[in-house]
Amino acid sequence: MKTFILVFLFGFSAQAANVAVVDSGTDFEHALLNASAWTNPGEIPGDRIDNDRNGKVDDVHGWNFVDNFHRLFFREHLSRVNPIVYPLLRVIGQRQGGEELSPQDERFFQENYGSLPEPRKRAVSAHLNYFAMYSHGTHVAGVVLQQSPDAKIMSARVFPDQPPPPYPSAAEAGPVDWIYRILGMVTNGTFQNVGQYLNETKMDLANFSMAISLPMIARLSLGLQGNSSPSPEEIAKEVRRIYVQFEPEGKKWMAAAPDTLFVVAAGNDGLDNDIQPVFPANVRADNAISVAATHGFHSLAKFSNYGAASVDVAAPGVAVLSSVPSLDRRAELPMSGTSMAAPFVTGVAAQVKDENPALKPAELRRILMGTVDRKDWLQGKVVSSGLVNPERAALAGRLSRDMGVEAAIAAAKTRVADQPEVAPRLGASSLPELEELAVQLVF
């Protein structure tokens, strides 16, 4: 009887990690996600009553912080998405992954993009960008679940919604307006509220696949000061000046949720974050870790930011296949960016937490960094000089139940080999427009 009770208690305590995806909203109707939504135990859905009295009415699977509203994702916008985005993004993703395209795929791309007149090309590109942002939080959640299938996903929506630009007319949504809206949310304390919510809902992890574009703000600011064509050095200097004003705000977010590990994408400018800081990736805290992107396990992605002192680890982020919203609720597409590398690390961290729920965020971070595959090509690029190793990190998590974290890391290192460095296939393409889109469409 005693044994039975112990077994029962042990089984009860082994709980899957709670993971917040702080992003553009997550489509939990997707077949790959619908069993994985975190559910607020204190809230009755749809009764228009704030049952748990946390100031948020019907916050069942998360909260929409942009609109202060329970709806996290607007599936009805799918009717305004042109279905051409699916095959186009598939072809572009294949190119980003270095694949050689079939003649049919090349012809398809030429007919639907390459051979179009300039204004229509811009319109298609705007539509692809819209769809990628619309899908972002759904794709990111899928990547978390690939590494941690039992994780419970909470959606914290922080991206302002933009209606899709009509297809294929040339009307484009203004990125400057969008930046101002995000900026407003940073300065009005929205993200601090996100931090408080992560704390209230006991999130083990929070994935931040986002960056406030300080270079864009720097250009605007220098323009207002009469410098309309600044040099890269002038931009970097202005970015550093602006970053210093943002940093205390970021520290507040992380301090608001001390039991949550914040996993933050390093950014996609191909630049050194030690020289030109990225917000919030550069915010240093015991409960934050920043992530660069690699091409498979082989090389640093060309677009990825890095930083010997400011970016902690690397993980795969090129042509990552994951869930995207679609009418049939089953679509998957490849996407590239540090936005895809961060949730890889978030998912691994969720597995480590499952192995030992007693681990604190700083210990999770230490395990992720201490169990990497060290690479010469990541030396001087990330603090740990390495790529996150899921199996080794999980083993260190398990061992840490019975020994100190450092001893667990050392033991895991002797037992799990590095992941094989398979060289990517780098086929050529004769389509310059495709190459250009493959470089531009990173998230």
Q: Which of 337, 387, 297 minimizes the C-alpha distance to 129?
A: 337
| Sequence-distant (≥ 6) Cβ neighbours of residue 289 within 8 angstroms | 261, 262, 263, 264, 312, 313, 345, 349, 365, 368, 369
The verdict on 58 binding Ca ion (CB under 5 A) reads: yes
Q: Which of 15, 39, 399, 368 minimizes the C-alpha distance to 204?
A: 15
The verdict on 50 binding Ca ion (CB under 5 A) reads: yes
Q: How far is CA 143 from CA 27, 209, 258, 344, 348, in A?
A: 14, 12, 24, 6, 10
Q: Tokens in use for 205?
A: 């992890």
The verdict on 56 binding Ca ion (CB under 5 A) reads: yes
Q: How far is the CB of 327 from Ca ion (least distance, A)?
A: 29
> In terms of CB distance, is 30 or 61 closer to Ca ion?
61
Q: How far is the CB of 39 from Ca ion (least distance, A)?
A: 12
> In terms of CB distance, is 54 or 146 closer to Ca ion?
54
* Sign of the four-CA dihedral 13, 16, 20, 26: negative
Task: Give me the amino acid identity at 348.
Answer: V
The verdict on 196 binding Ca ion (CB under 5 A) reads: no
Determine the interface stretch with Ca ion among 36-44, 186-194, 372-380, 403-411 (rule: CB under 5 A): 36-44
Q: How far is the CB of 188 from Ca ion (least distance, A)?
A: 21
The verdict on 59 binding Ca ion (CB under 5 A) reads: yes
> In terms of CB distance, is 56 or 353 closer to Ca ion?
56
Q: How far is the CB of 173 from Ca ion (least distance, A)?
A: 32
The verdict on 51 binding Ca ion (CB under 5 A) reads: yes
E strands within 308-442? 313-316, 320-323, 332-335, 373-374, 386-387
Q: How far is the CB of 223 from Ca ion (least distance, A)?
A: 43
CA-only gyration radius of the chain, Å = 22
Q: How far is the CB of 42 from Ca ion (least distance, A)?
A: 7
Q: How far is the CB of 59 from Ca ion (least distance, A)?
A: 5
> In terms of CB distance, is 46 or 420 closer to Ca ion?
46
Binding mask 236-265 for Ca ion (x = CB under 5 A): ------------------------------
Q: How far is the CB of 58 from Ca ion (least distance, A)?
A: 4
> In terms of CB distance, is 28 or 197 closer to Ca ion?
197
Which of 31, 35, 44, 426 is the binder for Ca ion (CB under 5 A)?
44
111 φ/ψ angles, rounded to the nearest 5 degrees: -65, -35
Report d(CA 94, CA 91) in Å as an integer.
Answer: 5
Q: What is the dihedral of CA 77, 80, 85, 86, to 10 degrees?
A: 60
Report d(CA 41, CA 30) in Å as an integer.
Answer: 22
- How many residues touch Ca ion (CB under 5 A)? 11
CB atoms within 10 A of CB 361: 24
Which of 29, 54, 80, 112 is the binder for Ca ion (CB under 5 A)?
54
The verdict on 61 binding Ca ion (CB under 5 A) reads: no
Determine the interface stretch with Ca ion among 7-15, 17-25, 41-49, 428-436 (rule: CB under 5 A): 41-49
Binding mask 383-422 for Ca ion (x = CB under 5 A): ----------------------------------------
Q: How far is the CB of 259 from Ca ion (least distance, A)?
A: 20
| Sequence-distant (≥ 6) Cβ neighbours of residue 72 within 8 angstroms | 25, 26, 28, 61, 62, 63, 64, 155, 157
* Sign of the four-CA dihedral 327, 333, 339, 344: positive
- Looking up tokens 């069993």 gives 35
> In terms of CB distance, is 27 or 58 closer to Ca ion?
58
Determine the interface stretch with Ca ion among 30-38, 48-56, 345-353, 431-439 (rule: CB under 5 A): 48-56
Report d(CA 247, CA 282) in Å as an integer.
Answer: 8
Residue pair 323/331 in contact by the 8 Å Cβ criterion: yes
* Sign of the four-CA dihedral 400, 404, 409, 412: negative
Residue pair 400/377 in contact by the 8 Å Cβ criterion: no
Q: How far is the CB of 19 from Ca ion (least distance, A)?
A: 20
> In terms of CB distance, is 44 or 426 closer to Ca ion?
44
Q: Which residues bind Ca ion (CB under 5 A)?
A: 43-44, 47, 49-52, 54, 56, 58-59
